[in-house]
């Protein structure tokens, strides 16, 4: 039984901007006890496979500090290689963010989103997407201010949230201890218009039915609305929450 | 427009058993022009984190031969590391297969499923799951024949299929050229009872709506039924297609 | 004592072409229970050390699938490095194939020969050379058909075979169990004109005399004649078995 | 010319404890714009070379977040290896901290000090030592509270500071822009009793004289007194600033 | 045309013992301008695959100093992996030396032969075998002196030499400039009784005939006799040159 | 108690030039039983970060042969990575040597100093600096002889020495057994004019006082004078010992 929170309620969210001074965009996002530092870098070149294509790129890197977790995890730099979980997560973050960016309008630039988990209590990858989006908008806004871009080349707000089945009940935004007991666990990224860009669901302990799946999807939609609202409170001066509406309707 | 195949039709499937003589289970699965060799190995020990827990483990490795693809891809052994795509896929295969195995009944044994793509034309990861399941059942059956296990500790048939939105239309089992043009691409693993164990959907080019998602899910369910039927034609002597029914109902 | 085969007899050989659809040349060679997939790739560039030299290059890669062998061997991609045995073998294959190619006539192109052992029962490196040669000729023939080359720039047929001393007796084409018991083990690559391009003999268990060596060499010459005959049956339409004769005489 | 700060003045220092909830000791140290997160982990085992020796161990790891710096630096985990600078620094931190710990009284335990640079503006390695010391004391104090140790097995306060020759003038606690222009750069770790445990001085641009060296040493001693005073303000409840006095006198 | 040396003559050989003080056996071998430092280490354990088998092991490592060669070659430690050539060579040295050692009489011990090329002018791998043998005998003799072994468990003298076809002529012991121009190049390891343990011949530029091969073998036999004679001059006090005779006859 | 040597005396030093024939400068330096081979290479290009800057570069690599030490140490090439100690040392050697070179006068050239420890008995890194300096001057002199440079672009003689506190007594040039027992250990590089370029002191076992530090510095200055005198005896024909005087005074 979840304490102090309804099954369809996200944890307390805080988005602190300019946490670090050097990056073009810097955000420390807290979702309950999960804290992820998201730094955006603009680079005036693109990866080799895009050279001369007139298109930009968005990519993400994800890492956990050794003591973000309850017991110490060994640094991947010390091991000499990135683990499968890390690669899976950073590919997810990158794909999600790319899905709302107009890469041609971005031009031959790369955006790096570095997501470093300072403290982990479930939902680090979804917090990374939600915070990374804010850092990206702030960085792009600087390009607009410097007249390097005419407008922010982003079509929608984007956030991500987890949803799962715990003790037979569908719940939103799982903490670590819920995550551990979940029969089914799903991470969903979507826009402020109720559309989805990434769905990754796994029923490792129990297969799930279409009905359960529909319930989870609805709950996720609610969570995404709450998160994009929190984003727009931070960003509304530079990126209106009505942004992207016209693209779809 | 897809030639010679309806939008809801899977490609011609062939499951050839005993393709290689040494493995405990060996299957060459062809789905259209996609060919994956799936070899199952039984090992009488478990990974360190399971030692003494009385539980078994299932894990998968995935690799593409350099010329499985139209242009030569560099071997990961030559690069000295596994790429993110490979790790993402082999984690997906492993999780999917584990979801239908009763790990406690398996006992302190590991099952390795090696999936080597001989020829690629879209859907290699889903073919690997579908073929890997058959190789796993054959290997487990040998343990039963040798009286090392009383019965095959597997709860359901398991298969996987891709589904996507191509040119605005939802289609089943994408070939390479469709995959390349897809707005949305989803890989779904599920059982012979219409339940799902893994859903990975990505709308990198276009966000997708709940309605599109529901259509994809229904199409996937049809594809999974076709695939588990093909599996049971090969396996019915040793693993009945009614298997697992009672677990759920 | 060897069953069903004379001491000077090679195993049943089968050369299946076009096993995989993408490569410029694709061959599945079986020599008894040893099966190696040999895929040839033509690339329109050369390694850095040959740039601007007006000469081409031939190189080979060799790998064993994890369950090509009786017990599972760990993937080199997972280990993060190529083992010494693999490197030794792929250098041998590359050197052998280069020895019969006129690299200047080939022009600034590279030929990659990927040799993947599907099933191992002794003699995988020699089968890789014998099958790799056929895949290379098929790939080069496509360049001739496309008018990119005037003729196939290869001087001789090339094959390879093992020979050894088992229980004090010199025998041709060792299977795994013979290989394991051999006092002396030799791999020899040579042409259809009775000449040799690589000899690698090792007497790790017993030094060998000049007399034994002469016997092994004669037996190898017989095996090479049988193998190049089998190659020419597959290739005679595009590459005559009299090829290269005039170069030597 | 340095603004707002005398040549012998350290930057504004802030030591925030319990920044992260999981570690046994957690400190975010800020020295001007340099911010380093120092987390201490207690582990109940020692490295292989100390097994059964009845002695403990202290080790440190150091890393910079990609955008701790003005331009993005590539993650060492992505490169697959630790750079020389990183290894040099983490060895320095480890040696410095070990020098004040009574390893035998610590018993067969390891202390890991993870130092992650959130924001860099010169002096990250010395801030890591100064903050790491505080995190270590907090972690050791928990062992005392849990009756696992009778007292904190540390002989002195320990801090570290940089000192250098900039534009011909000896200055304390160099910021990035000063560091860049320094003729000579020295990092010194020492105790609250005016003794030194590590001195690393480099005159890459200009050799330095004994006289300059003496001046730098005196300035460092002043800086170390200021820093250990700041540490003791945070720690005085659990670790008295008179600690260690009797060991030396 | 070779200067100052007949076609069947080896270069001036010098074997300096005790070049380094720490190893159990240390030899600096010079063959003309090729200088290889061969150090033997005795270790009282065996590799995992031999544990409890009652048998010992001999293994070799080979490395070139960066400026052993005319232009600087990059260190393999800096590259982070051993090249194929290095692995091929160290496997050759190890197999050759093992072939003359009675591993059961050696008992559960390992002998490491470290071969470091100080200066290279052709024939480094064969010099490593010839010098490594001497270092090994010296190290084993110490075990006999310390009563850890009753006698040196080695059956024969062992040396190695190169032979090749240069400008159409068969010559012994090729220097760098000859090696570069050789049509055929062969490395042969053998005993003081005219038997062979390793033959590695390659005709990368030209296939070679049986007749040429016979000539090379005879020349190699002469070279091996000269080399084992030089070894026995150094070792005769501790290891008689008649050693092993009775084993064969 | 030190035998046969006063506390302020360096070990017997020998500098043998032209030890290896290929390098532009080659020196085997012996300091007591410590022997380091230092080879200098001139390369007509600079690292990427200096391209087009009109400035040269000096860099060093350091390695120990496996049996330079009493027990065999594993090759870093075999481990696949450079250890922290190695990297720390080669950075120290590189910085020290760069400090006396006028990189602009050197022009767009790199100097590699390869330091390979043949035999270790304490002080290998300082011997590497002392010997590496001589190898570098010899190599630069060749550029002057070939009219590629007008003069040797080096400002001072440079050497390095260790000094430490052993059994409470400050001593110069520690051997292995002294090093092992030292409370404090310091490596100091300096010029023939009594100035310092690198000081690395560590009091891992005991903090050290300013007074002890001053004593160590004075002892080091004496050692550096002895070493630069030995260097100038070898180099005086090509690089006068008064060199650099005028630069400073």
Q: What is the 3-state secondary structure (H, E, C) of B140-172?
A: HHHHHHCCCCCCCCECCCEEEEEEEEECCEEEE
Out of C156, C195, C200, whose CB is closest to E200?
A: C200
Query: Which residue of chain E comes nearest to F70, CA vs CA?
Result: E22
How far apart CA A4 and CA A2 sit, in angstroms, is 7
pLDDT in tens, E24-74: 999 999 999 999 999 999 999 999 999 999 999 999 999 999 999 999 999
Any domain includes A248:
no
Above 80 in pLDDT, residue D247? no
CB within 8 Å of F247: residues ≥ 6 apart: F155, F156
How far apart CA C135 and CA F97 sit, in angstroms, is 55
pLDDT in tens, E153-174: 999 999 999 999 998 899 999 9
Any domain includes D6:
no
pLDDT in tens, D206-244: 899 999 999 999 999 999 999 999 999 999 999 987 765
Annotated binding residues of D for phosphate, as ranges?
A: 85, 123-125
**CB-based contact D20 A118, cutoff 8 Å:** yes
Domain residues for the domain of B153 are 13-235
Out of A98, A203, A205, whose CB is closest to B196?
A: A203
pLDDT at position F248, please?
39
Of the residues A33, A70, A77, the best mutation for testing chain D's interface (the one with the most D CB atoms within 10 Å of its CB) is A77
Q: What average pLDDT does this structure show over C169-188?
A: 92
DSSP 8-state secondary structure symbol assigned to residue A8: T
From chain F, pick out residues whose CB is under 8 angstroms from the CB of D213. Answer: 196, 199, 217
Longest CA span, chain F: 55
**CB-based contact C204 E91, cutoff 8 Å:** no
E210 touches chain C (CB under 8 A): yes
CB within 8 Å of F44: residues ≥ 6 apart: F108, F109
Above 50 in pLDDT, residue D248? no
From chain E, pick out residues whose CB is under 8 angstroms from the CB of C95. Answer: 202, 204
pLDDT at position B28, please?
98
ipTM of the complex: 0.94
Residues F184 and F166 sit within 8 Å (Cβ to Cβ): no
Q: In terms of DSSP bridges, do strands C34-43 and E13-17 run parallel, antiparallel, or are they unpaired?
A: unpaired
Annotated binding residues of D, as ranges?
A: 85, 123-125
Q: What average pLDDT does this structure show over F172-197?
A: 93
Percent of chain C with pLDDT over 90: 86
Measure F32 CA to nearest chain D CA, in Å.
26
pLDDT in tens, C9-49: 999 999 999 999 999 999 999 999 999 999 999 999 999 99
Phi, psi dihedrals of residue A49, rounded to the nearest 5° = -70, -10
C98 touches chain E (CB under 8 A): yes
pLDDT in tens, E168-191: 899 999 999 998 888 889 999 999
Above 50 in pLDDT, residue E92? yes
B21 touches chain C (CB under 8 A): yes
CB within 8 Å of E101: residues ≥ 6 apart: E56, E58, E111, E136, E153, E154, E155
More confident residue, E244 or D174: D174
pLDDT in tens, E228-248: 999 999 999 999 877 655 443
Above 70 in pLDDT, residue B22? yes
Termini Cα distance of chain E: 41
Residue F214: how many CB atoms within 10 A of its CB? 15
pLDDT at position A249, please?
34
Contacts of residues B68-76 at CB distance under 8 Å and 24 or more positions apart, as own/partner, are: B68/B117, B68/B118, B68/B119, B68/B120, B68/B124, B68/C20, B68/C22, B69/B120, B69/C22, B70/C22, B72/C41, B72/C43, B72/C112, B72/C114, B75/C61, B75/C63, B75/C77, B76/C77
Out of C26, C37, C119, whose CB is closest to B22?
A: C119
Taking the mean position of all CA atoms in its chain, how far away is CA A31?
Answer: 12
**CB-based contact A199 B217, cutoff 8 Å:** no
Size of interface C-E (CB pairs under 8 A): 114
Closest to A24 (Cα-Cα) out of A12, A37, A42: A42
Query: Which residue of chain F comes nearest to D158, CA vs CA?
Result: F207
Closest to F11 (Cα-Cα) out of F156, F91, F122, F165: F122
Query: Which residue of chain E comes nearest to F112, CA vs CA?
Result: E72
Contact partners for chain B, using 3 or more CB pairs closer than 8 A, are A, C
Any domain includes C3:
no
CATH code assigned at A83: 3.30.230.70
Q: What angle do CA A171, A173, A179 make, to 5 degrees?
A: 80
User: What is chain B's mean pLDDT, rounded?
Assistant: 93
Tokens at A41, concatenated: 């870098």
Annotated binding residues of B, as ranges?
A: 85, 123-125
pLDDT in tens, E3-32: 789 999 999 999 999 999 999 999 999 999
Any domain includes B24:
yes
Any domain includes F246:
no
DSSP string of B165-233, one letter each residue: EETTEEEES--HHHHHHEEEEEEEEEETTS-EEEEEEE-SSS-B-HHHHHHHHHHHHHHHHHHHHHHHH
Distances (CA, A) of A52 to A46, A56, A67, D60: 9, 10, 42, 45
**CB-based contact C82 B81, cutoff 8 Å:** no
pLDDT-derived band at F249, boundaries 50, 70, 90: very low
Q: Which helix (H) or strand (E) holds A160?
A: strand A158-166
Contact partners for chain A, using 3 or more CB pairs closer than 8 A, are B, D
Contact partners for chain E, using 3 or more CB pairs closer than 8 A, are C, F
Out of E87, E194, E196, whose CB is closest to C87?
A: E87
Contact partners for chain F, using 3 or more CB pairs closer than 8 A, are D, E
From chain F, pick out residues whose CB is under 8 angstroms from the CB of E114. Answer: 65-67, 72
Of the residues A34, A40, A65, the best mutation for testing chain D's interface (the one with the most D CB atoms within 10 Å of its CB) is A65
**CB-based contact B197 A203, cutoff 8 Å:** yes
pLDDT at position D244, please?
56
Query: Which residue of chain E comes nearest to C195, CA vs CA?
Result: E209
**CB-based contact F119 E20, cutoff 8 Å:** yes
**CB-based contact B70 C22, cutoff 8 Å:** yes
Please tell me whether A130 is known to bind a ligand.
Answer: no
**CB-based contact C202 E204, cutoff 8 Å:** no
From chain B, pick out residues whose CB is under 8 angstroms from the CB of A209. Answer: 194-196
A241 touches chain D (CB under 8 A): no
D94 touches chain F (CB under 8 A): no
pLDDT at position E247, please?
43
Of the residues F16, F22, F61, the best mutation for testing chain E's interface (the one with the most E CB atoms within 10 Å of its CB) is F22
Annotated binding residues of F, as ranges?
A: 85, 123-125
pLDDT at position D224, please?
97
From chain B, pick out residues whose CB is under 8 angstroms from the CB of A217. Answer: 210, 213
DSSP 8-state secondary structure symbol assigned to residue C225: H
**CB-based contact C61 B69, cutoff 8 Å:** no
**CB-based contact E68 F116, cutoff 8 Å:** no
Helices (H) and strands (E) in chain D, counts: 7, 9
Any domain includes F163:
yes
**CB-based contact A77 D63, cutoff 8 Å:** yes
DSSP string of F57-69, one letter each residue: EEEEEEEE-GGGS
From chain C, pick out residues whose CB is under 8 angstroms from the CB of E190. Answer: 207
How far apart CA B125 and CA B128 sit, in angstroms, is 5
What is the SS3 assignment for C191?
A: strand
How far apart CA D213 and CA D223 sit, in angstroms, is 15
CB within 8 Å of F216: residues ≥ 6 apart: F163, F164, F165, F170, F184, F186, F188, F201, F208
From chain A, pick out residues whose CB is under 8 angstroms from the CB of B196. Answer: 201, 203, 207-210, 213
Give chain C's domain count.
1
pLDDT at position E201, please?
94
More confident residue, C160 or A241: C160
Out of A87, A203, A217, whose CB is closest to B88?
A: A87
Of the residues C26, C36, C77, the best mutation for testing chain B's interface (the one with the most B CB atoms within 10 Å of its CB) is C77
pLDDT at position F247, please?
43
Out of F191, F193, F202, whose CB is closest to D95?
A: F202
Out of E156, E191, E210, whose CB is closest to C217?
A: E210
pLDDT at position B4, please?
84
CB within 8 Å of B234: residues ≥ 6 apart: B15, B17, B134
Percent of chain C with pLDDT over 70: 97
F85 touches chain D (CB under 8 A): yes
How far apart CA A114 and CA A128 sit, in angstroms, is 9
Q: Is the pTM of this model over 0.95?
A: no
From chain A, pick out residues whose CB is under 8 angstroms from the CB of B194. Answer: 209-210
Any domain includes F183:
yes
Above 70 in pLDDT, residue F92? yes
How far apart CA A61 and CA D70 sit, in angstroms, is 18
pLDDT in tens, B73-127: 999 999 999 999 999 999 999 999 999 999 999 999 999 999 999 999 999 999 9
Q: What average pLDDT does this structure show over A150-168?
A: 95
Q: What is the dihedral of CA F232, F238, F242, F246, to 10 degrees?
A: -140
Percent of chain E with pLDDT over 90: 86
Tokens at B96, concatenated: 């999917």
Helix ranges restricted to H, C33-83: 76-79
Q: In terms of DSSP bridges, do strands C34-43 and C110-119 run parallel, antiparallel, or are they unpaired?
A: antiparallel
How far apart CA E83 and CA C84 sit, in angstroms, is 9
Least confident piece of the model among A240-249, B166-175, D181-190: A240-249
Residues B135 and B40 sit within 8 Å (Cβ to Cβ): yes
Any domain includes B243:
no
Out of D21, D41, D118, whose CB is closest to A119?
A: D21
């Amino acid at each position: 039984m979840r304490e102090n929170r309804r099954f369809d309620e996200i944890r307390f969210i805080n988005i602190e901007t300019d946490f670090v001074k050097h990056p073009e965009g810097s955000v420390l996002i807290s979702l309950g006890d999960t804290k992820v530092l998201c730094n955006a870098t603009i680079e005036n070149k693109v990866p080799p496979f895009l050279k001369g294509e007139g298109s930009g790129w968005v990519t993400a890197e994800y890492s956990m500090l050794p003591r973000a977790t309850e017991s110490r995890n060994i640094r991947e730099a010390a091991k000499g290689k990135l683990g499968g979980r890390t690669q899976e997560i950073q590919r997810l973050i990158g794909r999600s963010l790319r899905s709302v960016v107009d890469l041609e309008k971005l031009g031959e630039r790369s955006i790096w989103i570095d997501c470093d988990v300072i403290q982990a209590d479930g939902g680090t990858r979804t917090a990374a997407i939600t915070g990374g989006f804010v850092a990206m908008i702030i960085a792009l806004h600087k390009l607009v201010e410097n007249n390097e871009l005419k407008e922010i080349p982003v079509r929608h707000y984007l956030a991500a949230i987890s949803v799962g089945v715990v003790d037979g009940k569908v719940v939103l935004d799982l903490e670590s201890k819920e995550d551990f007991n979940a029969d089914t666990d799903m991470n969903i990224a979507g826009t402020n218009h109720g559309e989805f860009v990434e769905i990754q669901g796994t029923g490792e302990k129990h297969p799930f039915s279409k009905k359960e799946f529909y319930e989870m999807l609805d709950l996720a939609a609610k969570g995404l609305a709450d998160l994009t609202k929190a984003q727009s409170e931070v960003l509304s001066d530079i990126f209106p929450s009505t942004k992207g509406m016209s693209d779809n309707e």
